[in-house]
Chains A and B, each alone.
Chain A
Amino acid sequence: MGRYVVRRMLQVIPVVIGVTFIIFCLVFALPGDPIQALAGDKRADPNIAAVLRAHYHLNEPLYQQYWHYISGVFTGDLGETYNGRAISEIVSERFPITLKLGLTSFGIEAVIGIVAGIFSALKKGKFIDNVVLISTLVLISIPVFVLGSVLQLEFGVKLKITPVAGIEKGWPQSYILPAVVLASTSMAYVARLVRASMTESVRADYVRTAIAKGLPTRRVIGVHALRNSLIPVVTFLGFDLGALMGGAIITERVFNMPGIGGQLAQSVYLRERPIVVGLVTLLVLIYLVANLLVDLMYAVLDPRIRYE
């Protein structure tokens, strides 16, 4: 078990190096000059531009720039943006916000999705099932930014229940609405997944046996049926935890949250190679950790699955 976890952790190293290099190449390939981008519609002063280019090694070939970057990373220096801010500072400032948003949204998605799915499966064909089926269909088909803008207008501007934007009020007030919006699509998928696999397991032999043994319904549903039904759901949730971080780009923009989403978009626009690479690498790491967790959760849910 321990060996399995260590092996999985070690896999991270080549992935990080590979990913950073690929991202570096991709951002490098984008046309446009980062120093001119700083000057907007005005032309960058040639002298000043030259000083800045030399400072950021922009005149050197790609591999040398990459070397400057990656050797910095290994000594704990993530570099600085073209307007002179330390990237580590930006990451530590913005990442917690996205993480809070992502985890809140993850919680909403898991709890509501699983509960709705169970009810839907148990009351198949009844009113509650139809409600779940129709509402999930609606959620899946509305684009996130439309849902975000509409909810923002209704709850923030008209009803004034939640803040319209920003994170001034802190967690949870400022995070609830954006998290719901961010969770909406996945929540619908989770509900449908749970419904499908629950429907199957409530008909399975071991569930029938459990009922015949005279176990209380709560135990039959909660432990016997649900536990097995959760395996595909956990797979989806694990994958989704990473996707939520990336998906936050749109939600953060609509709700003006200073997380990494907005920073990433802006940095791509400004051709800030080091910071794009840094943030994307962070997202990759989250994916890797989430997937490791999923694999470990399998063993918890189904003891037949072992990693020794």
Chain B
Amino acid sequence: MRGAKSAKWVAIAAVVALGATACGGGGDDGSSGKGKGNGVVSVEIGEPQNGLVPSNTYETEGGQVINALFTGLTKLDADNKVVNAMAQSVETKDNKVWTIKLKSGYTFHNGEKVTAQSFIDAWNYGANQTNAQQTNPLFSHIQGYSDLNPGEGKKPKTDKMSGLKAVGDDTLQITLNGAFSAFPSQLSFTAFVPLPKAFFKDPKGFGEAPIGNGPFKMKGTFKHNEEIDVTKYDKYPDASKIEAKGVNFKIYSNLDTAYKDLVAGNLDVQLVIPNSGLPTYHKDLPGRYIDEADSGVGYIGFPIKYNKAFQNADLRKAISMSIDRKTIASKIFLGARTPADDFISPIIDGYRKGACGDACTLNPAKAKELYKASGGLPGNTLEIGYNADGDHKAWIEAVANQIQQNLGIKVTAKPFEQFQTILNDLDAKKYQGAFRMAWNMDYPDMENYLRPIFSKEAITNGSNYSGYVNEDFEKLLVKGDQAATHEDAVKQYQQADDVLLKDLPYIPVYFYTLNTGFSDKIKSMKIAGHNILWDSVKLS
């Protein structure tokens, strides 16, 4: 029995060791009392992609948290209009040199005063290629940006952009490369917030416990894949307008699960109700939902750059006219989308209802005619690529069926495993078909729906995957940039938009709508640019 006995001991020891590690490392505290009425609002987010560094956050999950922790120079109000936040005034004569006066009274959560230099240091860090920040390209309008981005394998000679100057503690002077009328709007993006001195000592550590200048401050550190807790910062100048005592950002990997938590009352806000909840959310959450237009646009794009067949605008128009957008929006997306009728989202100043006109209206007879006249596609076949990792299969297949039926050609939907695999194939000029594409704004200005997707520079430096080039369009963009007033800029950008509507490098298919649900702990709330407006959140 000797063997058996020692075997028993080894077995027991191993089981104990396994058990001990299981119990030792868990970081969950069972006693974080989050009952109703303590003023803490829980909000669903996905795991932020990176540490919570504003200039390295280019997605909406981390953006939510940054928005609660930081206040920038400008912000969006409930109507998606750009208004001053930390800026007292924003002035310019030529859209190139901007003078911004700061409001006083703002401090970082560690007590440090927010000065013009806090902004300059933060932007210089964000724009420097050695720091490899995701939002780096957003700084490209500022003079001296190219010095910080000399290119692959080269080291920047300086770490400061020449266009940034602090005139005293409370005045910021910014010189851009050229006129850019949308600049104040761009400043509302979370990448442009200030950073305290502590950040530069340890950027990585800062990402786990950021020190902001916003209405909420961190409570503890970023608990990855679990939660991020923030509490109200009492020294925030507008603290009296904020009812929530804190926010508990709960991290979910599965939106359906989050929705169940919302219905069960364990979660207070879910910004995007998942498809599984769409048929029932009005009933599940009586009076506790928001349905409003969102900033996203869904398109179908064409590799115009190298596929000759797609270079005929009439052919693209024919394809566009054979799509029944209403059915897609109401049947496939259950009303969570609306038919697109412009390249610009409806929440943006300058959007024109029905701007796309005929081209975005179902008309099989005319579509067929146009298709024939344009010479058609080789072999009368069309392929539409989409990434199978998102929720795109259903609508792309529906679109494929509609085009097939209405044009009488063979249309197939081709799944790619990730969007980047489509991009790689497009870059290698390997993929000949049409492809699914979408755009979500970085800042609420028409310009953001035009230049980053359709301009010449966006072929290498942006999202112009079709390789579309039109010199008239380029000129009109510059005119818009130089416009003296916002109204004038809108007019110029609309003319640029008209060029797109004629050329149809992409065909707009739907606008996203935001379907948000909240718990009975919240009386009312408003959302702008995918961020919760914390001063609008009223608790019941």
Contacts and interface: CB of A to CB of B under 8 A. Distances in A.
A170 B28 CA distance: 6
Interface in A96-153: 96-97, 99-100, 103, 149, 152-153
B264 A303 contact: no
B4 A157 contact: no
Interface string A12-53: 000000000000000000011100111111110111101110
Interface residues of A, number: 74
Interface size class of B (residues with CB under 8 A): 35 or more
A292 B132 CA distance: 46
Interface stretch (B247-255, B349-357, B407-415, B507-515): B247-255
Interface stretch (B175-183, B188-196, B457-465): B457-465
Contacts of B59: 40
A262 interface: yes
Of A40, A54, A90, A289, the most chain B CB neighbours within 10 A belong to A40
A166 interface: yes
Contact of A33 (B27, B32, B420): B420
A48 B26 contact: no
B300 to A, nearest CB: 14
B485 interface: no
A253 B10 contact: no
B261 A32 contact: no
B25 A293 contact: no
Interface string B262-280: 0110100000000000000
B200 to A, nearest CB: 16
Given A1-B6, A43-B463, A38 B134 contact: yes
A47 B30 contact: no
Nearest to A81: B50
A247 interface: no
B19 A103 contact: yes
B23 A42 contact: no
Contacts of A252: 253
B261 A170 contact: no
Contacts of B30: 168-170, 173
A165 B205 CA distance: 29
A48 B131 CA distance: 8
A100 B23 contact: yes
Interface stretch (A66-74, A197-205, A294-302): A294-302
Contact of B423 (A36, A92, A307): A36
Given A83-B49, A96-B21, A293-B14, A47 B420 contact: no
16 contacts: A2-B6, A41-B440, A43-B463, A43-B465, A45-B461, A48-B133, A157-B260, A157-B263, A164-B260, A165-B252, A165-B254, A165-B266, A166-B226, A253-B253, A262-B225, A300-B4
User: Across chains A and B, which 9 residue pairs bring their CB atoms closest together, nearest first?
Assistant: A258-B225, A96-B25, A170-B30, A50-B152, A36-B420, A299-B7, A296-B7, A99-B22, A157-B264
